[in-house]
Structure 1
Amino acid sequence: MANDMTNGNNKVLVLGATGGIGGEVARQLRDQGWDVRALRRGGPLAREQHDGIAWIRGDAMHRADVMAAAEGCRVIVHAVNPPGYRRWAELVLPMIDNTLAAARAQGATVVLPGTVYNYGPDAFPVLHEDSPQHPHTRKGAVRVELERRLQQATVPHPLEEKTCRVIIVRAGDFFGPQVGNSWFSQGLVKPGKPVKVVNLPGAPGVGHQWSYLPDVARTMVQLLERRAALPAFARFHMAGHWDADGTQMAAAIGRAVVAHGGAAPRVREFPWWLITLASPLVATLRELREMRYLWKQPVRMANDALRAVLGEEPHTPLDAAVEATLQGLGCLPASKAPLKAPKSPQSPARLPA
């Protein structure tokens, strides 16, 4: 990244910067000295003009908008997704095609927050970057095709003057102060309200992987700093926070509530029965129900490849991460200073091969 900075080639376009991961990556890149542009469809731009990010009116579904916004950019962060899990088949692939067209034109690196949807039960319980991708759902099939197009774009073509590079970072379910739509903020607790109850979506005793959003963004930024030494098509898995029996996240939430003077919240089973009843009428719930298989069995990612490049994975201790998340969601009073994360990241234990 130093060469880019000294040459003035530090422009980056973030698609999906109004969302959780896109916004966090945009802010961290800005704080590292990148010249950050962000595309957004609607709403006022006046306030955003003062946050150090250049907000540009446009739509990721319109190729001309993406091509114009990406002019001169060395990196494109593709963190845009259809809202509420809906219309993936219609929207996901056209958006990545527009990003790839812009990346080829600029010779840019595309950064993608990946998912575990690509994998089916034959690859569980421990996922590696090269594990077979036999998706279990329609959304998983879309993600497999999306990554195929990304990989294809990195291969030189006689009719294309430039190719692009790709970095994919897969992580567990996101949580964080500005996470947006997530299982943490929509399933476990209710944003803006004191935590009285914590819902557990997983089957009893089944482990689940979580990832603190600022750690995921920090990982992406650090990989971008090393992108010249990476393969043209690079994939990495994060270990994040492993909840071995599906109760440790709820316990951390309880500790944060009690530390702020509240009563320990009640823990109960997530109302999947209600989702099942309502899903025929509500598209978002129907799509949500399709992903239940990820809560019925342990799914964990090995981070050996990431550690080989970075040395250690950015990792905020669970209690500090949960407390910051609950405060950001308005579930805890802001009077008490949140627990501080360590100045240097601590890496989680390595997984067995």
Structure 2
Amino acid sequence: MSHGTPPTQIALVLGLTGAIGGAIAAALARRGFSIRALTRRPAAHRPRFSFAVDWRDGDALDAASVLAAADGVSLIVHGVNPPGYARWREDALPMLANTIAAAKAVDATILFPGNVYVYSTASPAVVSETTPRRPTTRKGRVRLEMEEMLEQAARDHGVRVIAVRAGDFFGPGVGNSWFAQALAKGGMTAKSLQRLAPDGVGHAWAYVPDLAETFARLLDKRADLPVYTMLNFAGHYDASGHDMTDAVRRVIGRRDLPVKPFPWIILWLAAPFVRFMREAIEMRWLWKKSLALDNSKLVRLLGAETQTPIDEAVRAALRFAS
């Protein structure tokens, strides 16, 4: 179904094999976009999708590869992140710089999934698009630089940007997540669940298909949007600290399923030896402080935020928990 979008439009998706890149690509394909992807994977190891993919060999870290892949596209989805939760400054900034340069060269709109790393323990419990961004973590400072790079590209060069800030990802294809690897490890066969936040500490979750559909709906309205658009996506907010584990219990059908505190000590013990653990510890503040996203600006634009009922979203997410 085209939804009024000419089928000849091409979207270059950087990070197609990642959860958010794949979900946004699917939402765009439903609207008639042709999907192109840049990958380092050999042909035999490229996953299959429900839509056709024009694969191009290359690396998001290589400016020439990105520019060549962007030839003729009207949209670039920047859904790529440094692998292994590491090398944020070394890799994330150059990759985004390549996306911006390509978008400028071919006059393409950039779709950019933002996150809450740009905030800190000093931030208010509810953040809007105008809340000051004062990150105190290394990854947070990198994410702030990325947002500032996009703001500058829009301001100085007219590069169109649609950015949406959201909480922790969960859902289909999101295997490397706090939901799949900690809260509901084991998925539908979990013997117990792990509570990441204390009771009363709220946490923002983003069901990836809903976030992807939001990007696509905003794209439908891009002619009415400013050159740089940053919006908050509220997602599923766990206000009590146990709304998500309660939903998992309901979906599995075991309201007596034990819920244990997450053993943060394991991360501390492994941190000297495993970089991923060190990187994860840095973001623990998000589980010690309530942080909700005010989506009123998004709702004014779209009428309502796309939101799959929590039990339906959890059921889909549990299939990818391991």
Relative to the length of structure 1, the TM-score reads 0.86
- Give RMSD over aligned pairs: 1.9
Distance change in 2, residues 1:56/1:102 (3 Å): same
- Given that 1:16 and 1:23 are in contact with CA atoms closer than 8 Å, whether structure 2 keeps it comes out as yes
Who is 2:152 aligned against? 152
User: Which letter maps to 2:169?
Assistant: F
Cα drift, residue 4 of structure 1: 5.1
Equivalent positions of 1:189-228 (< 5 A) are 189-191=184-186, 194-228=189-223
Q: Relative contact order, CA 8 A, sep 6+: which one is greater?
A: 2
Cα drift, residue 35 of structure 1: 0.8
Q: Does 1:106 align with 2:106?
A: yes
User: Which letter maps to 2:33?
Assistant: W
**3-state SS of paired residue (2:102):** helix
Counterpart CA distance in 1 for 2:47 and 2:125 is: 45
- Given that 1:14 and 1:22 are in contact with CA atoms closer than 8 Å, whether structure 2 keeps it comes out as yes
Q: Point out where structure 2 has 5 or more consecutive residues left out of the alignment.
A: none
The alignment covers a number of residue pairs equal to 320
User: Which letter maps to 1:17?
Assistant: L
- Given that 2:20 and 2:208 are in contact with CA atoms closer than 8 Å, whether structure 1 keeps it comes out as yes
Match of 1:300 among 292, 300, 309: 292
Who is 1:36 aligned against? 35
Who is 2:307 aligned against? 315
User: Which letter maps to 1:182?
Assistant: S
User: Which letter maps to 1:286?
Assistant: R
Counterpart CA distance in 1 for 2:142 and 2:43 is: 32
Distance change in 2, residues 1:319/1:49 (3 Å): closer
Distance change in 2, residues 1:327/1:135 (3 Å): same
Q: Does 1:239 align with 2:231?
A: no
Q: Does 1:267 align with 2:262?
A: no
User: Which letter maps to 1:301?
Assistant: L
Cα drift, residue 63 of structure 1: 0.7
Who is 1:279 aligned against? 271
Counterpart CA distance in 2 for 1:263 and 1:200 is: 15
- Given that 1:19 and 1:180 are in contact with CA atoms closer than 8 Å, whether structure 2 keeps it comes out as no
Distance change in 2, residues 1:240/1:2 (3 Å): closer
**3-state SS of paired residue (1:5):** coil
Equivalent positions of 1:251-262 (< 5 A) are 251-258=246-253
Cα drift, residue 205 of structure 1: 2.0
Counterpart CA distance in 1 for 2:214 and 2:131 is: 21
User: Which letter maps to 1:48?
Assistant: R
- Given that 1:119 and 1:140 are in contact with CA atoms closer than 8 Å, whether structure 2 keeps it comes out as yes
Cα drift, residue 172 of structure 1: 1.2
Who is 1:170 aligned against? 165
Relative to the length of structure 2, the TM-score reads 0.94
Q: Deviations over 1:75-131 (max 9, x none)?
A: 100010012210101001000000001000011111111011111233221111111
Q: Deviations over 1:232-283 (max 9, x none)?
A: 110010111111111010011111111xxx6842100001011111111100
- Given that 2:111 and 2:163 are in contact with CA atoms closer than 8 Å, whether structure 1 keeps it comes out as yes
Distance change in 2, residues 1:194/1:3 (3 Å): closer
Counterpart CA distance in 1 for 2:294 and 2:119 is: 14
Distance change in 2, residues 1:217/1:191 (3 Å): farther
Q: Point out where structure 1 has 5 or more consecutive residues left out of the alignment.
A: 158-162, 332-353
Cα drift, residue 328 of structure 1: 4.1
- Given that 2:184 and 2:248 are in contact with CA atoms closer than 8 Å, whether structure 1 keeps it comes out as no
**3-state SS of paired residue (2:77):** strand
